[in-house]
Amino acid sequence: MERKRLKTIVFLAAMAAILATFVLLSIFDQPPRMPADTDHPRHSIESSCVQCHHPAGSKPLNPHHTERRSCLKCHKAP
């Protein structure tokens, strides 16, 4: 009986660790929010993003950034 209980506890601990890993990954692997400053109007349109974030702009995108142009799908306003 004690061995069965130990197996159950080990199993539940492993499941909790796996769940915690997924939760932490989903929390920390988020795209940055759009800054709340004068350069980023609260209700900006996506076409205005590329004015600064094109390769020769003042704040170019990271070279590893995806090529999508639907900025507001990932980068939410504060």
Do 26 and 37 fall within a single domain? no
Q: State how far the Cα of 24 lies from the Cα of 26, in Å rounded to an integer.
A: 5
Condensed to tens digits (0 to 9), the pLDDT of residues 35-60 reads 888 888 766 677 778 888 888 888 88
Do 37 and 66 fall within a single domain? yes
Condensed to tens digits (0 to 9), the pLDDT of residues 59-77 reads 888 888 877 778 888 888 7
Q: What is the pTM of this model?
A: 0.53
Alpha-helical regions (H) of the chain: 2-28, 50-53, 71-74
Do 70 and 37 fall within a single domain? yes
Q: State how far the Cα of 66 lies from the Cα of 8, in Å rounded to an integer.
A: 43
Do 16 and 37 fall within a single domain? no
Q: State how far the Cα of 12 lies from the Cα of 5, in Å rounded to an integer.
A: 11
Range of the domain at 64: 33-78
